[in-house]
Structure 1
Amino acid sequence: MSLNLSHNNLMSLADHTFKKYASNVFVTHVGEAGITYQQAQQKVIQLQVMFKELGVKQGDKIAICSENMPHWGLVYLAITAMGAVVVPILPDFHNNEVHHIIKHSEAKAIFASNKKMETIDEEDFSSNLSYVFSLETLDLVEDKTPAHSEFFIKGAQTVAQIKNKVLDFAKQKNLLKISEIDDLLTINPNDLAAIVYTSGTTGQSKGVMLSHYNLMAQLHQANTLIEIKENDRFLSILPLAHTFECSVGFLVPFANGASIHYLNRIPSPKIILGAMQQVKPTCILSVPLVIEKIYKNKVLTQFNKNKTIKYLYDNVAFIRKKMNKIAGNKLIESFGGEIRFFGVGGAKLSSFVEDFLSEARFPYAIGYGLTETAPIIAGAIPGKTRVGTTGTFAAEIEYRFVKTNEQDRDGELHVRGPNIMQGYYKDQERTAEVLDAEGWLNTGDLGYVDEMGILTINGRSKNVIIGPNGENIYPECIEAVIEQHPLVADSMVYELDNKVVAKIHLDYDLFDQQYDLKNNSDAKLHQDILSSLEEIKVESNEQLSSFSKLTSVFEQTDPFIKTPTKKIKRYLHM
């Protein structure tokens, strides 16, 4: 399958975009003046000249390990637009995982933030790593760069000398385009652009190989689905090392001349809401957990304060809709008042929260995809969403459902298209498990498409529980029901001794407000918890089919361990 793309590699896209939107603000920290597209281009060119001076060649791997900041994207473009390969590392990865990725990817250099710099140690230089850069300053870090590095051996050059050479070269050449740095450089569409290590729920991460063509096809698919304008303002709250934020929250606004605003402090509800008032964003990407917490803590608590209001909200549909619309207007104002695209992806959005967003007429969008698909497979834009579904397939995506029994409604979704990964880096065995010779990728998700072409995903095939009469029981669907209860922060449903059971992590702040923990004995506290868990089980079972009903529920005292996209690492809690 071949798409007729305006740009088939990141060098071509970058040259075009930097010129077209030169005076627009590109990236900034919240409340700061920011870097224009023209200023960004010059920084990218200087970085690429420095890479050449240090002997970085086409195909070499360069890692980025940092929280979000304006320089992250500039480094990403500098690496990929010269034919090198970027290796984004999630800042929440454990140090052992960071070391594994540096070694496994054969990274020649790494950019790290001040916070992540201490992660890099002598162990990392036993492989291919030779250079360490500060992401804040974009300079080489001398005391982190080992004596065996190539540029020390060849001339014992100092960082200052290299920087002067870079600036002199750029001035002499009067470089205006990235492509002018090396006239002989050709980037083919199928050349590797990125190796993205997944934050999987089943163990050690895998290196997903994405080509320039994969990323450019995904950009085309996203632009077909979403209309982004150059006056749009993105507020970035998800990690850039995750493909959802990198593709849709960075490359899409970049290609359309929009501005991207980054938090300069650790995200918290207070920090994010304050940033929204400053930036007045038009576009935000989020995982379900963020909007679900806002709904439970900001909206539902208001409706539950008064017994009469709670009764009307729970039982009278037209009053509930009116209340949701009022709450939706307030929510939009708290988001800065100009939000027009709130994209939710990374996991399934709870149906009760989506009911609220729909009735509130909040401009939310739904996206479904995988790191292996760069990432969008399907989506629905504001005004086109339908509760419980993930929208229609992206342009040029072929799909099929593989069923165990032909009479089953749901099947395992397989997709094929221009955004499908090349495979897992240095792992042919695991590549062959999910990607066949004809290009079909097994998503591992179970679902179906209705007569309107709208996709519904019900859960992961590996998580499905088989009922007593062969029924498919989807833990994710039961979890969505359990989490409607205001006291539930998180839940995980699984099979134990042929029974459907759940572990539940309570919202202890809310529990404290309701039961006054400090002034009660341990015995009373224990009894209150047991009573609450029983209430949650009974209320959940009232909404579940007979074969899906919960037999037992258990308290999960500590928060569940999660991936950076807030999915529970189920294998650690079974």
Structure 2
Amino acid sequence: MSQPMYSVVVPNSPEVPGEGKPRRSVLCPDKLLENYPSIKPGTTVTTLYENFLEGVHRAAGGDFIGHRPVVNGAPQEYQWQTYNHVRDRVTHFGAGLSHIGLGPKGLFGVMALNRPEWTMSELAGYQYSYIGVALYDSLGVSAIEFIVNQTEMEVIIASADKALILLHMKSSLASLKTLIVMGDAEESLVNEGKELGVKVVTWTEVERLGRETPIEASHPTPEDIATICYTSGTTGTPKGAILTHKNFVATIASFQMLAKHGKFFIPTNADVHISYLPLAHVFERLCQSTMISGSARIGYYQGDTLKLLDDIAILKPTIFVSVPRLFNRIYDKVLAGVKAKGGIAAFLFNRAYAAKRSNLKKGSIEHPLWDKLVFGDIRARLGGRVKHIVSGSAPISPDVMDFLRICFSADVYEGYGQTEQAAGLSISYRGDLTPGQVGPPQLCTEVKLKDIPSMNYTSADKPFPRGEVMLRGNSVFTGYYKSPKQTEETLDAEGWSGTGDVGQWDAQGRLIIIDRVKNIFKLAQGEYIAPEKIEAVLAKHYLIAQVFVYGHSLQATLVGIVIPDAETLKVWSNENNLGDKTYEELCAHPQVKTTILKELATFGRESDLKGFEILKNIHVTSEQFSIENDLLTPTFKLKRHAAKDKYDAEIERMYKELE
């Protein structure tokens, strides 16, 4: 029996030296999607505002967004607002923004953890053709300064705690004129704003202003900018990806068409999504827009990830979207719990797991006995009702994918995308249980692989073509805000966008991500890492001669190979009663490893490295990186592939020690 193909070569595509031919999903070989038909006869959804109206229409008065009020420190039951009620509030708030000076294509910032006002603010932007820009303090103060100043942002919508941060930064935010506070604004905050020349008002005050004095909205076109989404990048300043309404709607249209073919799902008002992945990132915004297109309900977490499972237990979501880091944690805890129980409980779990894993090969994710007897308690960890699980942001281990299918009896999808494509590049299909692949291109894009001779990846490789993943289509961004040079580096004249990822087509036309083009990679939680930057910082420490920083997209932490400076290590050894030992003996001494690891952590933080850039384990060696041992190039640059190969056993051991 022949295997089904998931993508096909684009008809009549020319041969281009050094490149493979572009491929599209087998479901749309001739034309890429850019919008989708409304359930209202004769109408088409082309913008995110129309997408919201589609959700309102499909909901037929049903609930939309819910949150848990906290009273005297105790979270209450979820309180819900309907689609119709939110539509009215969004209309009023958008009009209120106009009254405080924002006009069509005007720009506003949002800075808060996920909450209803975040989503309603953005929906108001969609309705009135404003442009929303997310700010997030995890990047540091300098990034906020850069974004506000580059966009000349005058209006920022923020939670009270973030508003205070922004006021304290006012001396470096010359354009800031108005702060709109979600929730209550204390008098001290309002007064501090006055002293700094910033008007501080509450979200509900702006909403009331628009309700009392309505104005007619200027609705966007598909080509209008929906948001400028700044990416953290890896070095230098953030880059603002300009994303249009069409970029998002094209990916939603792809999901709609996939659902019609039984390859994905479109939610209904009976479905519930928990919103806790940062709305500052494009992944959660695409998720919310997709939920809205089908009139799903969106419940927000309290804002504390340590209480996330409590929120899930109350909300009982039917759709769970997350990143590998959380799935890995669930996987580790469940297996550790089974091991700790031992006895008959472990025997039953292992037997049930083996039976269901065998069934996966036959395309089945359910079992009439084991699902109730063994896996019910595990399913309860995510509320007990999850039907669809989506993993994105970073690669997920095939073992964890199987685990999710086995324990939750849910359809599990792995998506792949970047900010520059509104998170929509490819996704695995429902019913395809082959691990390790991210599916064919979305129905709004086409993908090709470009040769990377320096890494020995080519589109002519056998048995499977390999190269840098390039894409073109309706989800691809229009460029970086006020950064023509960076735009040219990513987008070519024909609209092809480079991803920096190395991909491979499998025998059935699905994409597998195998490497990074540059020495940049993602950790399991989705954070980008530039190892050279970290190495440059750590090499300044007085005890360090050379360092090789390594991380893996299936791991959440960094490890390193460290060569100490012989002279300073000798001084340290004399001060610590180890002066009788040779350099080689010191490098092998546990106290040296412990000291250097602690020193590098402190030094890294003092040097403004972020928490995920701190080494969590090291291997200390006396052997220098050199041209002679093939670890340095003739220009004394580290050969990363060679270093990885040489220290593979040590790297594996370091990660095992961290388990």
Indicate the residue corresponding to 2:233 in structure 1: 200
- CA deviation string 1:12-31 (max 9, x = no partner): 33344335535211111142
1:362 CA drift (Å): 4.2
- 1:147-184, Cα deviation, whole Å (9 max, x unpaired): 897999xxxx99999776533224xxxxxxxxxx326x
Of the structure 1 ranges 382-391 and 257-266, higher mean CA displacement relative to structure 2 is found in 382-391
Distance 2:317 2:649 in 1: 45
Write the letter of the residue equivalent to 1:169: T
Q: Does 1:420 align with 2:468?
A: no
In 1, Cα distance between equivalents of 2:284 and 2:497? 22
Q: Which residue of 1 aligns with 2:648?
A: 550
Distance of 1:159 and 1:24 partners within structure 2: 24
Aligned pair partner of 1:433 in 486, 489, 493: 489
Out of 200, 203, 213, the residue aligned to residue 169 of structure 1 is: 213
The CA distance in 1 between the partners of 2:204 and 2:279, in whole Å, is 30
Deviations 1:492-534 (A, max 9, x none): 589999xxxxxxxxxxxxxxxxxxxxxxxx979979x9xx999
SS state of the match for residue 79, structure 2?
coil
* Residues 1:182 and 2:238 aligned together: no
The answer as to whether partners of 2:479 and 2:491 remain within 8 angstroms in 1 is yes
Shift of 1:289: 0.2
- Residue matched to 1:213: 246
Aligned to 2:34: 3
**Alpha-carbon distance in structure 2 between the residues aligned to 1:160 and 1:356:** 45
Q: How does 1:272-351 map to 2 (within 5 A)?
A: 272-303=308-339, 306=342, 318=354, 321=357, 328-351=375-398
Q: Which of 274, 288, 291 in structure 2 is aligned with 1:235?
A: 274
Q: Tell me the residue number matched to 1:108.
A: 154
| Mapped contact 1:46–1:166 kept (Cα < 8 A) | yes
- Distance (whole Å) between structure 2 residues aligned to residue 45 and residue 80 of structure 1: 10
Task: Tell me which amino acid in the other structure corresponds to 2:147.
Answer: I
Q: Which structure 1 segments of 5+ residues have no match?
A: 171-180, 466-474, 484-488, 498-521, 535-545, 560-574
Matched with 1:393 is 441
Which residue identity lines up with residue 241 of structure 1 in the other structure? A
Give me the whole-angstrom Cα distance separating, in 2, the residues matched to 1:437 and 1:272: 45
Q: Structure 2: which amino acid aligns with 1:208? A: A
Matched, 1:95 2:141: yes
Taking a change above 3 Å as real, the CA distance of residues 14 and 161 of structure 1, as seen in their structure-2 partners, is: closer
How far apart are residue 417 of structure 1 and its match? Answer: 0.9
Aligned partner of 1:136 among 183, 195, 216: 183
Q: Is the 8 A contact 1:339 1:363 kept in 2?
A: no
Residue 78 and residue 450 in structure 1: after superposition, are their counterparts in 2 closer, same or farther (change >3 A)? same
Superposed CA deviations along residues 65-95 of structure 1, whole A, max 9, x for unmatched, are: 0001111100011122201100012353322
TM-score (norm 1): 0.74
Q: Residue by residue, what CA displacement relative to the aligned partner does 1:422-459 show, whole Å, maximum 9, x if unpaired?
A: 11101111111111111101011111122322111112
Kept after mapping to 2: 8 A contact 1:412/1:446: yes
Instruction: Quote the Cα distance in structure 2 between the aligned partners of 1:33 and 1:4.
Output: 33
Distance 1:425 1:446 in 2: 26
Aligned 8 A contact 1:192 1:212 in 2: yes
Aligned AA for 2:395?
K
Stretches of structure 2 lacking an aligned partner (at least 5 in a row): 1-31, 37-43, 69-76, 258-263, 361-369, 522-547, 565-589, 598-616, 620-643
Match for residue 425 of structure 2 among 366, 374, 377: 377
User: What SS does the corresponding residue of 1:209 show, helix, strand or coil?
Assistant: strand
Report deviation, 1:263: 1.2
**Cα distance in 2 between the residues matched to 1:476 and 1:411:** 24
How far does residue 316 in structure 1 lie from its aligned partner after superposition?
A: 12
Query: CA separation in 1, counterparts of 2:185 and 2:440?
Result: 41
SS at match of 2:138: coil
Amino acid at match of 2:216: D
Which secondary structure does the structure 2 equivalent of 1:365 belong to? strand
Counterpart-to-counterpart distance in 2, 1:193 and 1:491: 36
Distance 2:272 2:508 in 1: 33
> Aligned AA for 1:80?
Y
Write out aligned runs for 1:248-263 (5 A): 248=287, 250-263=288-301
Structure 1 residue 82 corresponds to structure 2 residue 128: yes
* CA shift for structure 1 position 342: 1.3
Q: What SS does the corresponding residue of 2:504 show, helix, strand or coil? A: strand
Post-superposition CA distance 1:2-45 (Å, at most 9, x none): 73542222333334433553521111114222211121112112
Going from structure 1 to structure 2, the CA distance change for 1:161 and 1:62 (only over 3 Å counts) comes to closer
Q: Secondary structure at the match of 1:34?
A: strand
Deviation at 1:58, TM superposition (A): 1.1
Aligned to 2:575: none
User: Structure 1 residue 187: deviation in Å?
Assistant: 2.1
CA drift of 1:63 comes to: 0.5
TM-score, length basis structure 2: 0.65
1:490 aligns to 2:557 (yes or no): yes
2:25 is aligned with 1:25: no
2:283 aligns with 244
Q: 1:522-533 counterparts in 2 under 5 A?
A: none
Q: Secondary structure at the match of 1:116?
A: helix
Partner of 1:223: 256
**Does structure 1 conserve the Cα–Cα contact (< 8 Å) formed by 2:394 and 2:553?**
no
The answer (yes or no) to whether the contact 2:109–2:134 under 8 Å persists in 1 is: yes
Structure 2 residue 502 is matched with structure 1 residue 463? no
Indicate conservation of the 8 Å contact 1:103/1:124, yes or no. no
Structure 2 CA distance, aligned partners of 1:231 and 1:294? Answer: 26
Report how far residue 125 of structure 1 moved. Answer: 7.0
SS in 2 for 1:399: strand
Quick check: 15-24 or 82-91, which moved more? 15-24
Amino acid at match of 2:471: V
Matches within 5 A, 1:13-52: 13-21=51-59, 23-30=61-68, 31-52=77-98
In structure 1, what residue type is equivalent to 2:511? Answer: L
1:339 Cα deviation after fit = 0.2
The CA distance in 2 between the partners of 1:275 and 1:364, in whole Å, is 22
CA contact (8 A) 1:459 1:477 kept: no
- 1:176 corresponding residue in structure 2: none
C-alpha distance 526-56 of structure 1, shift in aligned 2 (>3 A): closer
Q: How far apart are the structure 1 equivalents of 2:411 and 2:333? A: 20
- Secondary structure of the residue aligned to 1:462 is coil
Q: Is the 8 A contact 2:388 2:410 kept in 1?
A: no
Sequence identity, in percent? 23
Give yes or no for contact 2:185–2:202 (8 Å, CA) kept in 1: no
2:576 maps to what in 1?
none
Distance 1:344 1:55 in 2: 40
How many pairs align?
A: 488
Q: 1:104 to 1:304 in 2, by over 3 A?
A: same
